[in-house]
Amino acid sequence: MVKKLIGKGKSAYSYLIINDFDRLVLKAIHDEPCPYYEFQDKLNAELAAYKQLVQIGINVPELIGVDEEKKWIIKDFIHGNTAAQLVSMNRMGDDQLKQLSEMAKTASKAGLNLDYFPTNFVWGCKKMYYIDYEINPYHENWNIRNWGLYYWVNVEGMRKYLETGDASGINADQNKGIPVKEPFEAEVNQLIQKFSIDS
């Protein structure tokens, strides 16, 4: 049974499914445009990305099934708080950030960027999961150091975004997906040094 909508991303809507035994996520691919991202075949791109993420050792929810005609992906539900929720509550700690940095190092060594926006990560059972299957060829403009970390330290902006959907507090350019950076440069640089984030 589809219980509720739990997220909307650049490529799909995600719904919580509850059955007699477990909770799952139904990801329904959509065709809505994104002003700062171009897609090819969204469904097959996600399936290929899942295989690659598993191969390089990134913690992701297990892929349960696919309906190619309806463009649905069924995957395991990870119990826990999203990183965005933790950021908004100012509860992002060293354990979470250390595991995030290790994920980023693993991805960059494989020539990849993850989508480091905090709604794409869940902290559950003391482990960080990348719950999206999106990957992109590595580019320094979109890596954790130059892009992602700015969302992970922006407490007030993330709280406003989660409560209202208004991204003006987290994005300096909403049409290009560029984060607000200037107020957070010192904090981001401290994290880069603390966790030896070099890419």
- DSSP helix/strand/coil, 11: coil
31-60 mean pLDDT? 83
Give pLDDT, residue 38: 60
**117-167: per-residue pLDDT in tens?**
999 999 999 999 999 999 999 999 999 999 999 999 999 999 999 999 999
pTM (2 d.p.): 0.91
Name the CATH code of domain 2-76 (choices 2.50.20.10, 3.30.200.20, 1.10.540.10, 3.40.50.300): 3.30.200.20
8: confidence class by pLDDT, cuts 50, 70, 90: confident
- Give the pair of three-digit tokens for residue 137: 């060829």
Does the pLDDT value for residue 99 go beyond 70?
Answer: yes
Give pLDDT, residue 175: 82
Task: Please provide the DSSP assignment of 103-166 as one string.
Answer: HHHHHHHTTEEE---GGGEEEETTEEEE----EEE--GGGSIIIIIHHHHS-HHHHHHHHHH--
Does the pLDDT value for residue 35 go beyond 60?
Answer: no
25-43 mean pLDDT? 72
**Domain assignments of the chain as residue spans, ordered by start:** 2-76, 81-194
Torsion angle of alpha carbons 142, 147, 149, 151, nearest 10°? -120
Q: What is the mean pLDDT of the chain?
A: 92
187 vs 19, 66, 83, 91, 167, CA distance in Å? 43, 41, 17, 15, 20
